[in-house]
Structure 1
């Protein structure tokens, strides 16, 4: 029988590429000469410089000693933190730059810098990156990289994925002067700091980026979001914030057919930010396009309750296409959960907060979710015999001070936990394989096990059993 050791070389690498842990790859490299030859490009495909516990881990020394390995490097991460080691390694910058010049096949680069001097740290690295066939570039700094860095960045062409996050100081960078050069290539963009930028400037920039498919935009005026995405006919994924400002008008230009929408917001009102629900409906005017809806919301005085009319509108438009619905701790009623499961036949992931008297009520609410695989619920348990409290509990989040949000079931003065038996029963009744309720989480999978020693017939036959493993949240 053929084994993996005897496989042709052309088949080894496509198999070994699924080993994501470098320790496993390093072990496989010792199996044989052929395995070493197949694994070496995978070991050096992604190189990251890191500083952990005041110890520097950087691949430059290895690359300078063995320059033939540089041809395998496709992705690299550099950090300005290495400059803190200049007293110990005086030539650290020169060594890094020299090693980077050897890596002529780099297509993806990440720069991370939380020091006070990102410009001086980044410029030598940027000089090398500008000579490489970059397709992806990520810049994450605590302080603005500076005008000299941006004047050079604005000359780079061919970038397909760009992520820019500068947390403090300096002006927001929204690609003015660079968008024209990126118009024929850029498909994925993250801009982490747009606060204070006029909507007219943002719109003028995005009008030059018609190929965008995925956009993460933080700090932009909410009123401008519909007009911004109207400039992006190919957009399928939007991650943005709702800042509750301005008037919301639907642009005359058709909006793109979003498949994934992620919104982050906060409010002092448990009913949610004013006009949030109307605003999100404006972003989703089409029928049966949305596959994933994520809402990261909080309220200062309790948990936001999602209005049932919004759910009805969302499922009416996208019920047949919706697969993932994750709203964190935002509250839904069990009745609404049941309605979603019955109107969204493709729903595989459901995450929300509910109030329930017992596990049976939850099981009944999701029984129409025939394709559910993942269920994550923040549950507030209502004592049996006090179901009359449920409407008040769902309306007023301050009721949460009465009953703990946990995995404990309160019943006639006795407390029990959401257990592995509960999880197993739900998994056997449904297609769920991951269940998180309160502070308890369980995953299940079907596995083959040999017959127990007590079985006297059909010895050697394997049974298929559901293995359930608990993974409590930390």
Structure 2
């Protein structure tokens, strides 16, 4: 089939799976039909890049503004724009072009500002001009990431915005901005909120601010006192996604059951004790009083070694979440194979399990530990092998492609992805052509070595 013969209605659906913009660019140059399908995808998300052609060469700005000014009809495809304060430092004269191009993006939905300079206020005048433009465009999603915080002038302008569905505010220094004086204006529309700096803010103020946002469905807090989280969950009935830290902060002053039914829960914490912070597990269980949890992520680190997860916590959690939990990511705490067996038996519907094993003897014991998992599709393991502890100079991981194949093809297995350390095994069914011209369906396991960030 020639490229021109592919139906135009399905072509964009195919091209959307291309993650590399260079591939989309090549598609846009292939033929007219591919150009019409690829161009809107290419211009849907735009950002600026700072590049150096040589190691010691001066930095240069690559920005789509010039293209949009030359071909303004492309601007109607733009839905998301990311601007960076570095442009104002490297090429100050380019800022006006950026603002002119932004005004053309009449269908813009999302605007993101990023400024990594320690003194963010020096770029605030640039951000202020961008805010004036996107206020006219009436964007729905706004992200501000400024290392040094934002000035009072910028904050005053932000508080004029209404109709937003998602807001994300992140800073490392400067005055914490936790929506005081702004949440009242967004209560009818805001469903997603990220506050990247709540440290030092009294729990009563955080609770007061969030009380104006009853439509919130997703909330991410960094530095918020843990004794405020339970109270927050009693004033946000629609909340289903929570990403927060556990910070030991004294006595829990609120005892009522949360009205929110959390489906996705991410907890980040650290401790000097391998048993984890005091009351962490009790606090976790109190967040989930009824069946609701589908995805659980725990990032718990200890300065004394690998943190552990008490098995009793799994048993207690199963009393309410046994039928709902499907995805578990607990790589930062160590588990035994018996813990894994317990987890999969108590939560029979688990589809994804990512964890760290304290010690493993062979692939066979892993297979035995997951034998009861009928719906498990993805298994990711970080582990130490017994061979390493027997004094060998080099640890040879005894897990290979055939071991992965055996686990994937066991009776009633749905397992198709296994990663052990940095090695990823993916099982796929393929059609093979035989010598007589007929086809045969076969199962192949692909082996790849991947970067840590992909696991």
User: If the length of structure 1 is used for normalisation, what is the TM-score?
Assistant: 0.88
Give the distance between the partners of 1:94 and 1:473, measured in 2 at CA.
39
Q: Which moved more, 1:354-363 or 1:73-82?
A: 354-363
Give the distance between the partners of 2:245 and 2:33, measured in 1 at CA.
51
| Alignment check: 8 A CA contact 2:189 2:215 kept | yes
Is residue 465 from structure 1 mapped to residue 446 from structure 2 by the alignment?
no
User: If the length of structure 2 is used for normalisation, what is the TM-score?
Assistant: 0.91
| Alignment check: 8 A CA contact 1:379 1:407 kept | no
Unaligned 5+ segments in structure 2 are 53-58
Give the distance between the partners of 1:403 and 1:134, measured in 2 at CA.
61
Tell me what 2:100 maps to: 98
Tell me what 2:346 maps to: 343
Tell me what 1:270 maps to: 274
Give the distance between the partners of 1:36 and 1:135, measured in 2 at CA.
29
Q: Residue 308 of structure 1: CA displacement?
A: 1.1
Unaligned 5+ segments in structure 1 are 384-399, 409-414
Give the distance between the partners of 1:8 and 1:421, measured in 2 at CA.
41
**Aligned pairs (5 A) from 1:54-453:** 54-86=59-91, 91-115=93-117, 116=119, 117-168=122-173, 170-252=174-256, 254-287=258-291, 289-354=292-357, 355-382=359-386, 408=395, 417-429=398-410, 430-451=413-434
Question: RMSD over aligned Cα, in angstroms?
Answer: 2.3
Helix, strand or coil at the partner of 2:41: helix
| Alignment check: 8 A CA contact 2:110 2:141 kept | yes
Counterparts in 2 of 1:44 and 1:403: CA distance versus 1, 3 Å: farther
| Alignment check: 8 A CA contact 1:51 1:57 kept | yes
Tell me what 1:387 maps to: none
Q: Residue 403 of structure 1: CA displacement?
A: 7.3
Give the distance between the partners of 2:220 and 2:214, measured in 1 at CA.
15
Give the distance between the partners of 1:62 and 1:340, measured in 2 at CA.
54
Give the distance between the partners of 1:418 and 1:14, measured in 2 at CA.
38
**Aligned pairs (5 A) from 1:14-33:** 14-33=13-32
| Alignment check: 8 A CA contact 1:186 1:211 kept | yes
Q: Which moved more, 1:25-34 or 1:246-255?
A: 246-255
Q: Residue 253 of structure 1: CA displacement?
A: 5.9
Helix, strand or coil at the partner of 1:131: helix
Give the distance between the partners of 2:437 and 2:164, measured in 1 at CA.
61
| Alignment check: 8 A CA contact 2:425 2:445 kept | no
Tell me what 1:393 maps to: none
Helix, strand or coil at the partner of 2:238: coil
Give the distance between the partners of 1:473 and 1:33, measured in 2 at CA.
37
Give the distance between the partners of 2:39 and 2:77, measured in 1 at CA.
8
Q: Residue 97 of structure 1: CA displacement?
A: 1.0
